[in-house]
Structure 1
């Protein structure tokens, strides 16, 4: 009788996990390559960045600020991941990317695309009161080979100067997610250059379309803010890198990963991770 009950429990458990889709997702601003970062040059950070990703074993993660050569370095060190994302300057390889990486052996890429955070999202350009930079969002539509379930994943980097640009970018993100993903399961990650009190964060978090995964977790792992300035801003507690999901999802864990190497930091941002389930 006990063996029979155990068998029934195992069968029920297998059905449950087959029906559910559990994903370890992350957002990681890897910091662009620049000679101004003496002591924290990309050539020294590339391997620690890849090692961090490998160890934490993300299923899908979005990056911000990476130039093509930086993304190539990550791909070379982590051949188990495929990636998608275009350069913000020309829609090709030029400029920083908001690329998405996903495990090749787990996901099939069904669709992908990019749009710019501006009044003309279909072409490269600055939006509203943004002064220095084009801003881009890249997205993928993935099918989980194990469960058959599908989800959209968006990676974005909001402007760091223009307040109007950040507010309007939040509105644009909601519109594009409605238009592209419609009612399907969706994850939005990125560097939003705004903490939980910012107007643009509030627009996203209280939209009814998206919810911050942080809110789902009773005890989040939050010993620091998400921006560290290569150790110069460790006293800051603001979180400006966020992971949002649509209402059918739920976060089981959420945390800011404060990994270091030889007393240094892989990036000027800490990656943020969430274990989610649809």
Structure 2
């Protein structure tokens, strides 16, 4: 092999290894539902800020919680570079809040997708266990990276905010459904668990042997306050918005994005992001 051939071969090998090790940014973002009683924090004013935040921080794939159909449409209109998947929790179509997943169209394509409910009857809309307020849904996609051809599942969910039993059982159900749907394939899980790292339902996922918190693998997490704010200065350090990953992934960055505008917050939760490599 002459020097020129060896050089070209080396360049090709480096390019192939770089492509196969491509990293991407994952986020979870509870955007707060479009509540007309949120005086001073109405969605009509927050919508462009939410979209600008997503674009500037360059999310590659992300899950949203509490999103109503009109909010999803606004984000899609403002960010046409993303496609989305997710059904409404009230009818499995468009009604009620969504736990939808957005992904860059030039980076990923969907191979499979689906939804299930956090209840004893996950195949149909309904409340589970001691939940008194709302149906809770998990949406998922099986994505292929267009460049590297690597595939992974992403699940996005919002746990109940009142029922303690519902949250405990939802943690168990998530592991059960991930095993059933994804098998041994790479998996990411984003969501608002309405529980900190000390909660039983968080621990049932983090210690499952199937998933671990992407936060745990990062040397210098960007964690200056809690992940929720209630549209006011946050108090405490409780994180209830999480990104989990299977053993196929490693994480190099993790952070809570505390962007504001004129002293206001884009949502009553901050987005949480992580940079992962498959």
TM-score range, shorter chain: over 0.9
Instruction: For 2:240 and 2:13, locate their aligned partners in 1 and report how far apart those are by CA, in whole Å.
Output: 40
Structure 1 residues 225-249: Cα deviation after superposition (integer angstroms, max 9, x where no partner): 10011124x1221000000000111
Structure 1 position 180 matched with structure 2 position 161: no
Give the equivalent residue in structure 2 for 1:58. 59
Structure 1 residues 156-213: Cα deviation after superposition (integer angstroms, max 9, x where no partner): 0000011110110011000110011111111000000000000000000010000000
In structure 1, list runs of 5 or more residues that go unmatched. Answer: none
TM-score using structure 1 length: 0.96
Say whether the 8 Å CA contact 1:66–1:96 is kept in structure 2: yes
**SS state at 2:122 partner:** coil
In structure 2, list runs of 5 or more residues that go unmatched. Answer: none
Structure 1 position 265 matched with structure 2 position 257: no
Give the equivalent residue in structure 2 for 1:162. 163
State the Cα distance separating 1:18 from its structure 2 match: 2.2
Say whether the 8 Å CA contact 1:109–1:140 is kept in structure 2: yes
Instruction: For 1:82 and 1:176, locate their aligned partners in 2 and report how far apart those are by CA, in whole Å.
Output: 24
Instruction: For 1:41 and 1:208, locate their aligned partners in 2 and report how far apart those are by CA, in whole Å.
Output: 41
1:82-231 pair list within 5 angstroms:
82-231=83-232
Instruction: For 1:216 and 1:5, locate their aligned partners in 2 and report how far apart those are by CA, in whole Å.
Output: 37
Structure 1 residues 54-107: Cα deviation after superposition (integer angstroms, max 9, x where no partner): 001111000000000000000000000000000001111100000000011111
- The change in CA–CA distance for 1:11 and 1:68 in structure 2 (over 3 A counts) is same
**SS state at 2:173 partner:** helix
State the Cα distance separating 1:22 from its structure 2 match: 1.4
**SS state at 1:164 partner:** helix
Instruction: For 2:11 and 2:171, locate their aligned partners in 1 and report how far apart those are by CA, in whole Å.
Output: 44
Instruction: For 2:13 and 2:215, locate their aligned partners in 1 and report how far apart those are by CA, in whole Å.
Output: 30
Instruction: For 2:8 and 2:263, locate their aligned partners in 1 and report how far apart those are by CA, in whole Å.
Output: 50
Instruction: For 2:158 and 2:132, locate their aligned partners in 1 and report how far apart those are by CA, in whole Å.
Output: 15
Say whether the 8 Å CA contact 1:212–1:243 is kept in structure 2: yes
User: Over aligned residue pairs, what C-alpha RMSD do you find?
Assistant: 1.6
**SS state at 1:231 partner:** coil
State the Cα distance separating 1:20 from its structure 2 match: 2.0
State the Cα distance separating 1:108 from its structure 2 match: 1.2
State the Cα distance separating 1:2 from its structure 2 match: 11
Say whether the 8 Å CA contact 1:21–1:149 is kept in structure 2: no
Instruction: For 1:263 and 1:40, locate their aligned partners in 2 and report how far apart those are by CA, in whole Å.
Output: 11
